[in-house]
Amino acid sequence: MISKKIGFIGSGNMTYSLIGGLTSTGVQGQNIWVSDPNADKTEQMAAKFDLNIASDNVALIQSVDIVILAVKPQQLAEVCHEIAEAVQNAHPLVISIAAGVLTKDIEHWLSSSETIDPDIDIESHLALVRCMPNTPALVQSGATALYANNQVSDEQKTLSESIMRATGLTLWLDNEADMDAVTAVSGSGPAYFFLVIEALEKAGIKLGLDEKTAHLLAIQTAFGASKMALESDDSPETLRKKVTSPGGTTEKAIGILQEGKLEELFAKALEGAKARSIELAQILGKNTSTS
C-alpha cells in the first residue's frame, strides 16, 4: 500500500477515478491533497474521500511527496510556471497525465527560469513520469503507458506504477517517442470500439431487431469478446479462426469485411492518429507563456 503523500493539481474525472481507485486499495484520504479553483468539486471529493483541500497549487507542492499534474494540456504550461519554484525547492516526484505534452517541455516549464529557450536541452534534476491513460480508466478498466526521465529512481517508478494501476493495466515505455503510437492504439482506441459497437447496433436494427435488443447485444458481444481475448492464451487471430466455421455465417461476414480492406483501413487510421499526436505535441510545446 502507498504511504507517501499524494497531491493532485486538477479535480477532473481522471483525478476522481484515480483517487477512487487508490482509496479502494487502502490509501488513506488524509494522505491525499487536491488543488483546483473549482471549490465545489474539491469539496465534493473531500466529503466523499475524507481528503485534504490545498489552498493553492504552491501550498499543495509543499505538503506532498508526489505531485500529479491532472490539468488540461493547454493549461499545463501556466500551472508549471506557477509551481516551478516550489517544485525546485521541494523536489517531489512529478507525474503528468496531460495528454500529448512532452517531458522536455514540462522540464522547461518547471525550471526555475521562464526565459530558458525551449529548443535548448537542459539538464533536468526533476524526477518526472509522463503517463498516457485512456478513458476506460474512469471505470477502473484503463490502459496506461508510462515513461520516466533519467532522474526517476526504481522506487519512484514502482510508486508511479502503483498509482496508475489503481485504474487498470500499466506498462512502461523505454522510448518516449512510442507514446505517439500508444496514443493512436489505446489513447484514441476506445472511440474505435465505440464506433464498431455503433455500427453493429445500426446493422442489427436494419436486420429487424428493435433498438434496445440491438444495443444490448452489440455491447455484450463486445464485452464478451474483449474478456475472452484478455483471459485467453490464444492470439486474437486464433480466437477469430476458432469461431469461424468453414462455410458458415461468420466466415461469410469476415470475408466481406476483409474484402473491404478493414485491416488496411485501421492501419491508415492509426497512422493518421499518430501523426496528429506528434503534431499536437509540437503545438503544445510552443505554449511557454504564463498568460
The mean pLDDT of the chain is 93
Confidence of residue 1 (pLDDT cuts 50, 70, 90): confident
CA separation for the pair 200, 217 (Å, rounded) = 9
Region of 101 (left: φ > 0; alpha: ψ -120 to 50; beta: rest) is beta
State the Cα–Cα distance between residues 161 and 171, nearest whole angstrom: 8
Average confidence (pLDDT) over 200-228: 98
Contact 134, 186 (CB under 8 A): yes
Give tens-digit pLDDT for 239-275. 999 999 999 999 999 999 999 999 999 999 999 999 9
Longest dimension (CA), the chain: 69
Best CA proximity match to 96, nearest among 39, 52, 152: 152
Average pLDDT over residues 132-155: 96
Query: Sorting pLDDT into bands at 50, 70 and 90, what band is 44?
Result: very high
Q: Is residue 287's pLDDT more than 90? A: no
Q: How many CB atoms lie within 10 A of CB 120?
A: 7
Q: Could you give all domains of the chain from N- to C-terminal order, each with its CATH number?
A: 6-179 (3.40.50.720), 189-260 (1.10.3730.10)
- pLDDT average, residue stretch 147-171: 96
Q: Are 135 and 142 in contact (CB under 8 A)?
A: yes
Q: Once rounded to an integer, what is the mean pLDDT over residues 205-217?
A: 98
Checking if the pLDDT of 95 tops 70, the result is yes
pTM of the model: 0.90
- CB atoms near residue 114 (< 10 Å): 14
- Res 17 pLDDT > 80: yes
pLDDT exceeds cutoff 80 at 205: yes
High-pLDDT (> 90) share of the chain, %? 91
Average pLDDT over residues 154-171: 96
pLDDT of residue 48: 96
CA distance 67 to 6: 6
What's the residue count for the chain? 291
- Cβ within 8 Å of residue 264, ≥6 positions away: none
The pLDDT tens digits for 105-142 are 999 999 865 544 555 455 568 999 999 999 999 999 99
The answer to whether residues 93 and 130 touch, using CB atoms and an 8 Å cutoff, is: no
Report the amino acid identity of residue 148: A
Stretch among 3-12, 15-24, 279-288 having the lowest mean pLDDT? 279-288
